[in-house]
Amino acid sequence: MFLVAVSTHDEFPRWTGVVGVLVASILLSMLYLGVYWVTDLAAGGVLAIGVVVADRIASRGHRAK
C-alpha cells in the first residue's frame, strides 16, 4: 500500500501520510502479535525501497527517450 502511495504522491499528496500511518499501525500490530519478526519487516522495507528506487530510475530513462 505504501509503495502505491509513494508512487502517486505527486497526484495524491494527502494520502501518503494517511497510508503511512495505516501501514505503520499494521506493522506494529504484526510485531505485537508475533506474526512477523523485526528482520522480516526490515527486509520488506529494504525491498520496498529498492522497488521505489528502481521505478524512479526506470521512469527517468523512459522520459528521456
Please determine, for residue 61, whether its predicted confidence score (pLDDT) is greater than 80. Answer: no
Taking all residues of the chain, what is their mean pLDDT, rounded to a whole number? 85
Model confidence at 1, pLDDT cuts 50, 70, 90, reads: confident
Residue recorded with cell 508475533: 34
Q: Which alpha helices (DSSP H) does the chain contain, by range?
A: 2-7, 13-33, 38-64
Q: Over range 42-52, report the average pLDDT.
A: 89
pTM reported for the whole predicted model: 0.62
Model confidence at 65, pLDDT cuts 50, 70, 90, reads: low
pLDDT tens, 21-39? 998 899 899 999 999 999 9
Say how far apart CA 44 and CA 26 lie, in whole Å.
13
Say how far apart CA 50 and CA 57 lie, in whole Å.
11
Q: Where are the domains of the chain?
A: 2-64
